[in-house]
C-alpha cells in the first residue's frame, strides 16, 4: 500500500498533529509519543475528526480547575490556541457541590465559549499527553459492530507499513499521515453510526466535551469539599474564604487578622491573574451550593433526570423528522395527471425523478383526483397491456 503526500500536506499534518515543540520546531519527542499511541490504536482527536462528527460546533461549557492551574488555563485561551481542554455541560449536583476537579484539586469553575472538538455524553476517558494533545482509546469511538472492520484496516496498514525509525523524519511523518488518513476515512465512511455511538446515553455523573479556541466568560471561586485535599495548595484559599465569612459575624482576633492579611495579598494576585483573561464577572464564596445555581443560571445541567431527558427529546425529534420525510403529500389533479402520463407512457421507465406513488396522497386528495389513462399510451405489447390492467385495478375507484 503506497502513500505519498505533498509538501503542503506534510506541513498541514505536522501542524494538526502538533508535531512541533513550543518554538515551532519539529519535535522528535512529540513524534515518539505519537507513534506510541498509534501502536496502541489510539485515536488522536483532530479538528478534521471533530468536524466530521459534529461540524463546527460552537458552544458553552464549564471547566473545574485548581489554584495551581490558572496559568495553564490562561495559555489555552484564544482563537489561535489548538490544545483542547476537557469540559462539561452536565455534572451531577452531588459531584458539582464537592467542587473537586477531574484529576485536579478543583475549587474554581470557568464558563467557556469555544469550539467543541469532541462531544461525549459521559467521561470519554480522553488521554492528554505531555503536550496537551488529546487521544481516545479506539473502543470509545468505534462501536462494537465496526470493531472488526476497524481492526482489519489497522492490521492491513501495519502489514504494508512497518513502523519507521525516528531518525527518518519524512518516512515517520508519512507513516503518521497514513494512519491518520485511514482513521479519518474510516470515521467519514461510517460517520452516522459512529456519531450515534458516541452521542448515545451512557449514564454518568458528568459528560466530557473537548473544547478548544475558547474564551473565558464568568468565573466562580470557592472551596472544595474533598477531604483528601485538606493539606493542598488550595487550603489557603478555603481558609481565606472562611475568614471573610467570619468577618460578617465578628471582628477577627490578632492571629486571624495576620493570616487574613497574608491570604488577602495572595488572593489579590490570584484575582488579578484570572481577570487578565476572563471577560466576565468573578465571584467568590465559601458556599459550594452556590456552584449549583451558578452553573444552572448559565445554561448548564446538574440534574440527572433532566440530562437523561435530552436524549429522549433527541430521539423524539429524530422520529418526527423521519415521519415528516414520509409524510403524505398534497398535489393537484393536473400535477398528478402529468406525473402519471410520464410514468406510464413508456414501459420500463425508471427515471427516479418521475416516479410517483398514489399512496403518497392524503386520503382527502385521493377523493378529489380523477385518474385517467393517457390517450397517447399505445398498447404495444402484452407487457404494456398488463401494466395498464394493473393500473385500472389499483386505481379503479378513481376511473
319 assigned to some structural domain: no
Residue that finishes a domain, picked among 311, 346, 372: 311
Do 284 and 340 have their domain in common? no
First to last CA, the chain: 63
Do 357 and 273 have their domain in common? no
368 assigned to some structural domain: yes
Bridge partners of 329, per DSSP, are 361
325 assigned to some structural domain: no
Do 285 and 378 have their domain in common? no
CB 37 within 8 A of CB 18: no
Do 88 and 172 have their domain in common? yes
Position 349 scores a pLDDT of: 42
Is pTM beyond 0.75? Reply is no
Position 249 scores a pLDDT of: 75
Position 158 scores a pLDDT of: 85
Position 230 scores a pLDDT of: 45
Position 22 scores a pLDDT of: 56
318 assigned to some structural domain: no
Do 346 and 305 have their domain in common? no
Domain that holds residue 97: 7-311
Compute the distance between CA of residue 33 and CA of residue 129 in angstroms, rounded to an integer. Answer: 8
Do 342 and 307 have their domain in common? no
Residue that finishes a domain, picked among 279, 311, 343: 311
Helix (H) or strand (E) holding 50, with range, is: helix 47-54
Do 252 and 361 have their domain in common? no
Give the number of domains in the chain.
2
135 assigned to some structural domain: yes
Do 343 and 306 have their domain in common? no
Going from the C-alpha of 142 to that of each of 119, 133, 147, 151, 176, the distances in angstroms are: 14, 20, 6, 10, 19
Do 359 and 295 have their domain in common? no
Dihedral (C-alpha) 121, 226, 77, 130: value to the nearest 10 degrees? -80
31 assigned to some structural domain: yes
Do 368 and 269 have their domain in common? no
Position 266 scores a pLDDT of: 92
Position 371 scores a pLDDT of: 43
Do 291 and 355 have their domain in common? no
Q: Please report the sign of the dihedral spanned by the C-alpha atoms of residue 183, residue 184, residue 190, residue 192.
A: positive
All residue ranges of the chain with pLDDT < 70 are: 1-5, 17-27, 100-104, 130-131, 225-233, 313-399
Q: Residue for cell digits 487578622?
A: 257
State whether residue 34 is helix, strand or coil. Answer: helix
Do 387 and 274 have their domain in common? no
269 assigned to some structural domain: yes
17 assigned to some structural domain: yes
Position 141 scores a pLDDT of: 94
Bridge partners of 118, per DSSP, are 210
State whether residue 291 is helix, strand or coil. Answer: helix
Amino acid at each position: 500500500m503506497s502513500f505519498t503526500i505533498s509538501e503542503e500536506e506534510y506541513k498541514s499534518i505536522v501542524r494538526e498533529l502538533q508535531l512541533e515543540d513550543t518554538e515551532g520546531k519539529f519535535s522528535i519527542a512529540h513524534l515518539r509519543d505519537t507513534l506510541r499511541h498509534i501502536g496502541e490504536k489510539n485515536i488522536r482527536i483532530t479538528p478534521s475528526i471533530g468536524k466530521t462528527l459534529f461540524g463546527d460546533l460552537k458552544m458553552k461549557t464549564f471547566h473545574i480547575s485548581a489554584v495551581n492551574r490558572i496559568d495553564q488555563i490562561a495559555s489555552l485561551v484564544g482563537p489561535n490556541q489548538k490544545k483542547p481542554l476537557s469540559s462539561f455541560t452536565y455534572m451531577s449536583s452531588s459531584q458539582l457541590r464537592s467542587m473537586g476537579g477531574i484529576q485536579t484539586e478543583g475549587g474554581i469553575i470557568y464558563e467557556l465559549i469555544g469550539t467543541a472538538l469532541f462531544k461525549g455524553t459521559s467521561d470519554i476517558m480522553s488521554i492528554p499527553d505531555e503536550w496537551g494533545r488529546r487521544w481516545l482509546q479506539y473502543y470509545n469511538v468505534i462501536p462494537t459492530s465496526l470493531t472488526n472492520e476497524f481492526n482489519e484496516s489497522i492490521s492491513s496498514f501495519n502489514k504494508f507499513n512497518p513502523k519507521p525509525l525516528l531518525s527518518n523524519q519524512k518516512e515517520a511523518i508519512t507513516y503518521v499521515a497514513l494512519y491518520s488518513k485511514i482513521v479519518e476515512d474510516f470515521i467519514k465512511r461510517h460517520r452516522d453510526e459512529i456519531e450515534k455511538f458516541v452521542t448515545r446515553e451512557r449514564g454518568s455523573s458528568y459528560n466530557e466535551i473537548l473544547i478548544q479556541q475558547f474564551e473565558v466568560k464568568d468565573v466562580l471561586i470557592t472551596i472544595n469539599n474533598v477531604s483528601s485535599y485538606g493539606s493542598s495548595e488550595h487550603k489557603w484559599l478555603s481558609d481565606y474564604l472562611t475568614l471573610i465569612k467570619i468577618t460578617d459575624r465578628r471582628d477577627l482576633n490578632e492571629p486571624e487578622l495576620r493570616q487574613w492579611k497574608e491570604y488577602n495579598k495572595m488572593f489579590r494576585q490570584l484575582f488579578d491573574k484570572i481577570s487578565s483573561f476572563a471577560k466576565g464577572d468573578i465571584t467568590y464564596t465559601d458556599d459550594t451550593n452556590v456552584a449549583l445555581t451558578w452553573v444552572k443560571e448559565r445554561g448548564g445541567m446538574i440534574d440527572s433526570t433532566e440530562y437523561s431527558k435530552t436524549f429522549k427529546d433527541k430521539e423524539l425529534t429524530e422520529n418526527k423528522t423521519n415521519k415528516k420525510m414520509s409524510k403524505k403529500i398534497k398535489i393537484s389533479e393536473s400535477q398528478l395527471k402529468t406525473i402519471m402520463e410520464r410514468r406510464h407512457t413508456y414501459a420500463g421507465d425508471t427515471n427516479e425523478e418521475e416516479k410517483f406513488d398514489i399512496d403518497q396522497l392524503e386520503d382527502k386528495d385521493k377523493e378529489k383526483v380523477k385518474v385517467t389513462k393517457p390517450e397517447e399510451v399505445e398498447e404495444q405489447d402484452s407487457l404494456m397491456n398488463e401494466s395498464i390492467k394493473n393500473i385500472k385495478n389499483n386505481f379503479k375507484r378513481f376511473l
